[in-house]
Each structure stands twice: as structure tokens, then as C-alpha cells.
Structure 1
Amino acid sequence: MLQTGIVYRVADLVIEAGALILAELRRPGGPRGSGYKAEVDLEIEVVLRRGLEQILSCDFVGEETGRHQTGHRYCWVVDPNDGTADFLAGRSGSAVSVGLLDEGEPVLGVVYAPGTPRGSDCIAWQQGMNALFRNGRVIAPSKQNRDLKGSVVFVSSAAASKRAENDILCAPATCEPIPSIAYRLARVAAGDGAAGVSLYPVSPHDVVAGHALLKAVGGDISDQNGKPIRYTASAEFIDPVEQCFGGQVDACRTLLARPWINLLEPNRS
């Protein structure tokens, strides 16, 4: 059984590591790196890996520092800076994502976006808790996130260039572009919207933490075929994932029926 309250220690560590994102955004000349690789990503993951191993010594899968797997029942799954390309372009909203799997089942998630239009935002949960906590406070998510009407669907930042088309696909909700899929899922779990969508391939380190948060409020994540996303004990997807739709099941089922492929052809956005 996972130690009670471990998520608070993880959240403190994630917030500490996330400060490096803000420092890098404020760096004269902008963040270091190019394409999909920022130098600070590795620096953050080194801090996280060291700290997480002290909190719970188990297997580890990180985007930057690779895998350490021994067959332990627990496995940390880490993305130090989800949304790197947008981060390098100077856009705020990337997030640190730390999830924990127990024999392939998400049992803890912490997602921290240090720089967003609404300020820093940390959303966390672990198995056994009755509610999420956000920025140090327990929250009771609104039931509004179970329905698209009057709500929001969080989509990638690329949607900003095709806002009208995305709004049609999300109707009767509106779309809101956010760089990080981890943070999109976390915002949905916290009751800010109906669903989070990625039209591009994701990896377990992108979604495990957000998946844990959604579980806490009765949500789930499906792939492009509407099949629930699941993981092996070694932190791999059981089935390939080209797209993902996370939130309450009914909202995601409605969105899955929409022609999202229209956004990707002939030019990917």
C-alpha cells in the first residue's frame, strides 16, 4: 500500500524543480535549446529523479534520463517539461508531470505549470485521497465538467491558428489552447473543462500523471479508437496511442465522433 501523504512530498519536489522553468523563461536571450529539446529539461529531471528516489525507491521512466527497471511494482513516470517546443518559442504553459504506476495502474499524479496566464498551478492526488488538492488546497471539482455545454475543451497550442475550426469540433463547448497535454488533463480533473485532447502521438510520460488525476474524479483517457488507454507494468502503452481524449467518458465519446482529421489534412496544425 502506498504510504499516506507521499503526494505532498512529491508536490513540494515538483514545485522546487519547476522553478527552473521560470528561471529559464526569464533568461536573457530566452530558453536554451532548439526544436523539441531544451537544456533545462535534463536539469529538471536530474533534480526530480534524485528526489523521487529518496521519497520512494522503485523503477523509473523519464523522458530525459531514460529507464531504470527492475520489475518493482511501482514505477515513477516523469516528463520534466511537457510542452518543450512551445516553451522554447517563449510561450508559457509547459508543465512538470510526475506520475506513479502500481503494476501499470496510475496511483499518483502531480502536474505543475509554473507559468500560466492564471499564475503557477499545481494539481495533485494519490490513491486513497477523497479529493484533489490544488495549490495546497483541497478542491471539489464542479459537475460541469461532465458536459460539453457551456464548458471548455483544452487543445494544443497549434489550435490557435485554427480557432474557428476547433470551436466547431468542440461545440457546444469552446476550445482553449494549452501547450502541455499533462496540464490539459489536470485542468479537466480540477473541473475547469470537459476534456483535454491531443491529436498527436503521446508517450506514457506525457499522460500518466494526468490520467491519475482524472481517475480521482471518475474520468479516463481514450485513444483515437475510443479504447481506454492502459499501461504495462513496465510503463508502456498496452496499445499504440496516436491521439488521446481525456475527461469524463460521455464528453470524450462525443468528441471522438467528430472529424478531427480535418484539422490535420492537408496541413498539420
Structure 2
Amino acid sequence: MGCAELLKSVTECVLLAGEILSAEWSLPGGPRGHGDKAEVDVEIEALLRKSLLALLDCDFWGEETGSRLTGHKYCWVVDPNDGTRDFLEGRKGSAISVGLLRDAIPVLGVVYAPVTSDRGPDCISWAEGCGNVIRNGREVSSRARLRTLSPGSRVLMSSAAANNPTINAQLCSPADFVPMPSIAYRLARVAAGDAIACASLVPVSAHDVVGGHALLKGARGVLLNQEGAPLTYDSVALMTRASNRCFGGMPEACRDLVGREWQRLF
């Protein structure tokens, strides 16, 4: 089964997992957990691990249930709830992220935010062999998109950007910056055309970004590290820490952002 044929079944698995995350959000006392750990995260990853390996029995890299790395050509990469801290603090926009690597290259991605502040449930997906990125069952054209940072374009930053709006506005200028949970969902929304680029200014692991990285490939975008090099996943070290900072989106915009003085925020 090719990646494009696999995508429908993977999306169904992720949507089912999203029902669990949505129900957890709606608990009368709020989601269970504290800090960076929500109790539902392990439950969702266990479900996804079982269902994804039933679709394609290969290697697996998860945030909560550990890894199985045998040298297989393919590897599932799963984050059951990217943006857990924001989720537990009551911010909408955390997301389930599933990616598939083939020879350490992203070839499939599904990112699903079941609870968002502006769109309702939002599922964005792509796989090698598909044409454009798919959003909630419909293809999204990548034509006529802005390619450079310009007035009216948007750069998606972490929720923490709201704590320092002046410097973030300067660093993203002439684009506007938008604070938003979950690097996985920020990457997905850039791939779907909601923004020209996004960033994470803290270290990310493979589970944070592989799903979104695949979506960017479908949108003719890139995912660059703090030095402006493409993210890679061909060692355990790089799976554990893929980059210290990352910038995803249209190539020219990302290269511009890499060179800006982000240390000013720290």
C-alpha cells in the first residue's frame, strides 16, 4: 500500500483519537494532569500505536510510550497531544500529530486540532503521491501564496510570544505575529495557507515536527533549523533533538527569519 492509499486510514485513526482529546477538554473540572503531562496523552498514544502498527508494522517513535527502532525502512512518529501545557492551562489549539518517515524522510503527515479558537475541529493531512495538502476533506491549493515576509502576512509563534509583543512584532516585521499553541499545529496551518511561516524558539524532537514537516512538503515549504539547514531525522540523537530552533513555511520567508536576532527574547 502506497503512502497516498495509507493516508485515509491514518486520518481515520487520528480523528478517532481526537474524540478522546475533545472529551478530555470538556471534562467538568477541565483536563486531568499538570505541567507538561496530561493523563489523556498516554491513552491516546497507546491507541494510535496499536492502530498505526496494524496498518504498517514498522518502527515507532512516540513521546509517551517510547520507541522501537530496528532499522526498518519506515517509522511512525507520534505526538498524542502537542501543546500539552497550553491544553492544561485552558488554551485551545493543541494537536495530535502523526508522521511517517521512510528512510528518515517525512512522507506522510496528519495533524488534528479537535478544539481550536477560530476554526472548530481542524484536520490537515498530506502524503507522498497526493497533490495538494488536504484540510478537513478538501484539497488546499498552494498557488498564489505570498513567498516573502510582507505587510499583511502572518508568522505563527508560540503562546509565549504574547508575553513580549513588542520584540516579537519587531522580529517578525513586516509580517504580523500570531501567538498559538503547538508547533505541530502551527506547521500544519502554515501548510494549509493560514500564514507564511511559523517558528519554535525552543528545542523540538521528532515527535513535535515530523507530521507538520510532511505537510510542509505537500505545500512546497521547508523546515529549517537555527542554522538555516533542513531538519533531518537519521539518527537517534536527531530524533531526540531535531533542532534548537526551527522555522517552517515558504523558503524565502524562513531563510529571512533564521537570520533575525531571536536571542533578544531571552
TM-score, normalised to structure 1, is: 0.94
Runs of 4+ in 1 over 3 A off after TM superposition: 233-240
Q: Distance in 2 between matches of 1:238 and 1:2?
A: 27
C-alpha displacement at 1:85, in angstroms?
0.4
C-alpha displacement at 1:201, in angstroms?
0.5
Distance 1:6 1:42, change over 3 A: same
Which segment drifts farther, 220-229 or 119-128? 220-229
Stretches of structure 1 lacking an aligned partner (at least 5 in a row): 265-269
Question: Does 1:95 find its partner at 2:89?
Answer: no
CA offsets 1:140-179 (integer angstroms, 9 cap, x no match): 1353342221211000000111123212111111011111
Tell me which residue corresponds to 2:210.
Answer: 208
Tell me which residue corresponds to 2:194.
Answer: 192
C-alpha displacement at 1:218, in angstroms?
1.6
Cα RMSD after superposing both structures: 1.6
C-alpha displacement at 1:3, in angstroms?
4.6
Stretches of structure 2 lacking an aligned partner (at least 5 in a row): none
Q: Distance in 1 between matches of 2:42 and 2:67?
A: 14
CA offsets 1:28-77 (integer angstroms, 9 cap, x no match): 21111111110000010011111101111111110000011222100000
Distance 1:239 1:157, change over 3 A: closer
Question: Amino acid of the residue matched to residue 229 of structure 2?
Answer: K
Q: Distance in 1 between matches of 2:23 and 2:145?
A: 36
Q: Secondary structure at the residue paired with 2:116?
A: coil
**How many residues get paired?**
264
Tell me which residue corresponds to 1:219.
Answer: 221
Q: Distance in 2 between matches of 1:32 and 1:96?
A: 17
Q: Secondary structure at the residue paired with 1:144?
A: coil
Identity of aligned residues (%): 55
Q: Distance in 2 between matches of 1:108 and 1:73?
A: 14
C-alpha displacement at 1:238, in angstroms?
9.6
Q: Distance in 1 between matches of 2:17 and 2:80?
A: 8
C-alpha displacement at 1:18, in angstroms?
1.1
Q: Secondary structure at the residue paired with 1:98?
A: strand
Question: Amino acid of the residue matched to residue 106 of structure 2?
Answer: P
Q: Show the 5 A alignment for 1:113-128.
A: 113-117=113-117, 118-128=119-129
C-alpha displacement at 1:243, in angstroms?
0.5
C-alpha displacement at 1:236, in angstroms?
3.3
Question: Does 1:39 find its partner at 2:29?
Answer: no
CA offsets 1:9-31 (integer angstroms, 9 cap, x no match): 11111011011111111112111
Q: Distance in 2 between matches of 1:238 and 1:250?
A: 27
Tell me which residue corresponds to 1:18.
Answer: 18
Q: Distance in 2 between matches of 1:165 and 1:248?
A: 22
